Amino acid sequence: MAQQQGMAALAAEKGVLFGSTLTRGQADESAEMRRLARQEMGAIVPGFEFKWPTLRPGPWEFDFSGAEAMLRLAEEQGQKTRGHALVWHGALPGWFGDGPADAMGMRTLLRHHIDTVARRYAGRIHSWDVVNEPVEPWDGRQDGLRDSPFLRSMGTDYIDLSFRWAAEADPQARLVLNEYGVEMATAEQEARRTALLRLVEGMLRRRVPLHAIGIQAHLAAARQHEFEAEVLRRFIRRIAALGLDCYITELDVTDRGLPPDIATRDAAVAHTYRVFLDAALAEPSVKAVILWGISDRYTWMNDSRFARREDGLPTRPHPFDADFRPKPAWDAIREAFRAASAR
Ligand code: XIL
């Protein structure tokens, strides 16, 4: 049988960068995973290796070994690397605690981190998620921004400054503001979209170097009815009208809430990928699609209390199963790229 074209190759034909997250542990442990990474990823997003807990074992220490290993792997295979993430409240080492309470202390710590990491890899990173998940209307602020340790110490300035420091340290990388929960047609997500657009408009007015918005897109097949293509497309067009690209940065589809039957689950998950990608790819400003996992063997979803199945069965959210065999989702994603127009 002739070798079938993989997802990354089909995406590349349409001018879309395609890839997935991968960790050093997965690549070291599994030859099958390394094969999938070679065949199916045009870009790799290290899952842990660029996050603070890995890079910053202590307040005065850096450990670059994981980041180096992942960059080397991608470069040997001619793949791009996305850096994830310079500033994220959700992955901080224990020693960080709530961080320095005073603005100057937090500013010094953040600047030192961004400067050291982004400068070290300048020219080798396709794009940096500079700030991850800065918006959270549920936190109850007027501006809809997240009440994170960074904001508590530095005020809302931490966002602009992080982007300015990243641009100084690596003028070539595309700088991305990455956000979750902005793709569905619910009131909650509409509030998050509104807050995000307001934030972005302000940043651009203040001439902050920002190039793309990352839409995480952690989807649930059982909530497919809450998706409306036009709502997502309108949001992407509003971002494009501001001069920014969109990247789909963490796409996966949990089967939480679906019956246990595997064929039923796999079909619903595949359908969800297809409908979502058809909508996103219809917008020419969508320049990258990154999955948050490629094989069910290694999925963060079984550990997430929001994504794991309530019946305790392992989730089947990715295009390859736990034995690295292609699933209906693999075909659905490839079909979406085949159907997309070139950008
Ligand atoms: C997840 C990783 O995949 C897990 O292995 C880890 O335990 C927690 O973080 N949004 C993000 C990602 O931006 O960094 C998260 O990744 C998933 C949610």
Q: What is the pLDDT of residues 53-110, one digit of tens each?
A: 999 999 989 999 999 999 999 999 999 999 999 999 999 999 999 999 999 999 999 9
Q: State if pTM tops 0.95.
A: yes
pLDDT at residue 120 above 90? yes
Atom 7 of ligand 1, nearest CA residue: 300
pLDDT in tens, 285-333: 999 999 999 999 999 999 999 999 999 999 999 999 999 999 999 999 9
Atom of ligand 1 nearest to the CA of 303: 7
What's the pLDDT score for residue 2?
A: 52
The CA 131 to ligand 1 mean position distance, Å, reads 14
The pLDDT of 173-201, averaged and rounded, is: 98
What pLDDT, in 10s, does the model give residues 123-140? 999 999 999 999 999 999
Atom of ligand 1 nearest to the CA of 88: 13
Name the one residue in this structure whose structure tokens are 């305790």: 312
Mean pLDDT, the chain, whole residue set: 97
Pocket of ligand 1 contains residue 47 by CB under 6 Å: yes
CA distances from 101 to 91, 153, 154 (A): 18, 5, 9
Nearest CA to ligand 1 atom 8: 300
> Is the CB–ligand 1 distance for residue 26 below 6 Å?
no
292 Cα to the center of ligand 1, angstroms: 8
Phi, psi (degrees; rounded to nearest 5) at 294: -120, -30
Question: Which residue has a Cα nearest atom 13 of ligand 1?
Answer: 132
Is any atom of ligand 1 closer than 6 Å to the C-beta of 300? yes
The amino acid present at 19, given as its one-letter code, is G
Query: Could you tell me which of 78, 32, 79 has the C-alpha nearest to residue 288?
Result: 79
Question: Which one, of 306, 324, 323, 303, lies nearest residue 314 by Cα?
Answer: 303
On the question of pLDDT at 1 being above 90, the answer is no
User: Residue 301 C-alpha to ligand 1 middle, in angstroms?
Assistant: 9
Average pLDDT over residues 208-214: 99
Site to probe by mutation for ligand 1, drawn from 129, 250, 254, 302 as the one with most ligand atoms within 8 Å of Cβ, is 250
